[in-house]
Amino acid sequence: MPDFSTILIALLLTLFAGLSTGIGAMISFFTRHTDTRLLAGALGLSAGVMIYISFMELMPEASEGLATVMSERTAAAAMLAAFFGGIGLIALIDWLVPADENPHEAHSMEELSDSGSHHKMKRTGIMLAMAIGIHNFPEGMATFISALDGLEMALPIVIAIAIHNIPEGIAVSVPIYHSTGNRRKAFFYSLLSGLAEPAGALVGMAFLLPFWSPVVNAVCLAVVAGIMVYIAFDELLPGAESFGHHHLSLIGVVVGMALMGITLVIL
């Protein structure tokens, strides 16, 4: 079982990733127009980091951990089952959220602030906060589990999750701010949606740590890889492409992969 300091660091990192929705809220208050080029590149970079670390680090490490108690072939099969189980978990959550409130559809600040009546805008913001909170719950568990395995693997994941939470904070705060004129309320709802990540970490800690073992760790890493790959392909890449800067998105993906690869070699 991980020691107390490791658990505390993992919780703090997950809290940081979740609270980055507040950064998105603050950006929306002081910026009139969305810098779509920057967002496209940043989302692409986050996707590159998640894809690379999932296939090059998390899945191989999960296979190695499982191979200590079973044959290599059985370990590979178990790893794949856990990987696709992670994809199935986040896909199920995605399916349960109504399509109209799904936070995986990227919008500019201009679109969000021009979405109809004040009442409709406020409802949109609150529903987005709830939907994002639901999506952030398993992301929090994934971030926490990766952090338990060491900072060199956790930090890139935390940064990638934080970057992808910034547009979500914008998506929540803009309609609420424009419908109420209340920055505090908009910031509160934006921050609340991000707090689902540390909540997910706490639930993961409560349920998993009493049974923690090398095998449980390996299975969790494979599940995390599945969640990360799904987020990258279902949310980050379509979000980056939606801003209309295809080549910037692709450059972001490649740079994210390269940075992740170089970081892992150095460390």
The reply, when asked if residue 136 is annotated as ligand binding, is yes
pLDDT tens for each residue of 177-232: 777 778 888 888 888 888 888 988 888 888 888 888 889 889 989 998 998 899 88
Q: Whose CA is closest to 125, among 21, 48, 202? A: 21
**Residue 194 CB contacts under 8 Å (≥ 6 apart), including other chains:** 18, 19, 20, 21, 22, 132, 136, 165, 168, 169
Q: Is 139 annotated as a binding residue?
A: yes
Distance separating alpha carbons of residues 98 and 91, to the nearest angstrom: 13
Average pLDDT of 229-242? 84
Q: What is the pLDDT of residues 137-162, one digit of tens each?
A: 777 888 888 888 777 777 888 888 88
Quote the pLDDT of residue 71. Answer: 94
165 marked as part of a ligand binding site: yes
Is position 241 annotated in a ligand binding site? no
Q: Is pTM beyond 0.95 here?
A: no
Which pLDDT belongs to residue 62? 93
Residue 102 marked ligand-binding: no
pLDDT at 80: 97
Query: Known binder of ligand: residue 105?
Result: no
